Structure 1
Amino acid sequence: MIQQRKPGLATLIALAALTTAAASADDFDTLEVGITPELDFFAVQHQGETVWVQRNQNTGNTVDPEYALTSRPCPPLCIQPMQLAPGVETLGELEFIAYLERVGRDPDVLVIDSRTADEFAAGAIPGAVNVPWNDLVGTAGAVDFVVEVRMEEFGVRRSADGWDFSDARTLVLYCNGPWCGQTPSNIRALLDLGYPPERLKWYRGGMQAWHNLGFTVVD
């Protein structure tokens, strides 16, 4: 079941106005807590439904305690580098949002939550699908059959030489935050299989940054 903060009246009026050629930003009220000066909210397709994503409008809101811890044990929860591998782009929130808006509309783009299934079920970013890191990483228990199924979901096919990446989708991956190794493990596993690095994107901030900015979460 999707739980979300539904757009307020001003947001719905804004949406209606945006469907007319004559509409302008002056035709409706803006939210108090926007995303950028030009963007208050956006729509994402999630499990066949439209989810409106905006920031929490309570200016006294604080971060979910689950993401308030500052000192997780390292190892294994160590700070990840800004760049995982040559050619793999690291995304900030606005770049990540640009990909989220393409979900369900552009078959080339797939947003992936690399966390375990129970973590995903407890709350995720709208538009993401769950590909747990242990589905792809051999040291975490991945098996060849599951890897092949996942690769087919990514638009990759078996070939005489191994894998055919000519129709590989652009994968945008995230996990719990800069201290989380699940997405880095997924990306490295994909690179080891030959996945083109330019088709791999990493939202390093993950759930930590998403919660810190008060964005909509679904479960």
Structure 2
Amino acid sequence: MSPRARVLVVSTGAVRPLPWRGRTVATGIGKTPVHGPVDVGASGLTGDEQADREHHGGPGKAVLVYPVEHYRTWAEEIGDLVPPAFGENLTTSGLLETDTAIGSVYAAGTAVLQVTWPRRPCYKLSAHHGIADLAVRTQRTGRTGFYCRVLLPGRLGAGSDVELLHRPDHGITVAEVHRVVNVDRADHAAARHLLDHPELLPSSWVGLLTKRLTGRLDDQGARLHG
């Protein structure tokens, strides 16, 4: 984390239909910035909606964070994007996946957030931008963003400082979990290391990694391509 991490943009959105490969899908990825402080509780930000409650939302995915630093890199590859182009609730500076440890606790405004898991990109990101391989590229580059649970409800807004309250000793970062779960799926040694800390992972990922160690590789096609 940088010496002064901050929330730059706070965004929420309603579920809307989106065309994708000849059908219509429902998604809350199309968010817009909110002016002024927003209440944040165990279910997320007031006014925010998710269409797929199985894979989005819930206590472990209450708030989606995306580093503003990635926007500069994306601009070089696909053109300028304006936050919250990746469907994030909080666009931040000073919080990168490579530096942020799973389980870290931060104060943002009067709320307290705990980092849970990296975001697993899905095809709705591609549909939102009309770029067929954007979910795949987001996954490959590791510019995914990450989720937080809300330990203490409060209010936050654009300009709120983000203060590190606790960083776990295990040192496992968001980027490392993303790499092992989504990209380097044959890295059994790293998978075993993550499985030594099952409390850091959702139960479905524990099952996924355990199966990989027996040689059963999961199919990512439906998530990435729809």
Shorter-chain TM-score above 0.5: no
* TM-score (norm: length of structure 2): 0.26
More strand by share: 2
Greater Rg, structure 1 or structure 2?
1
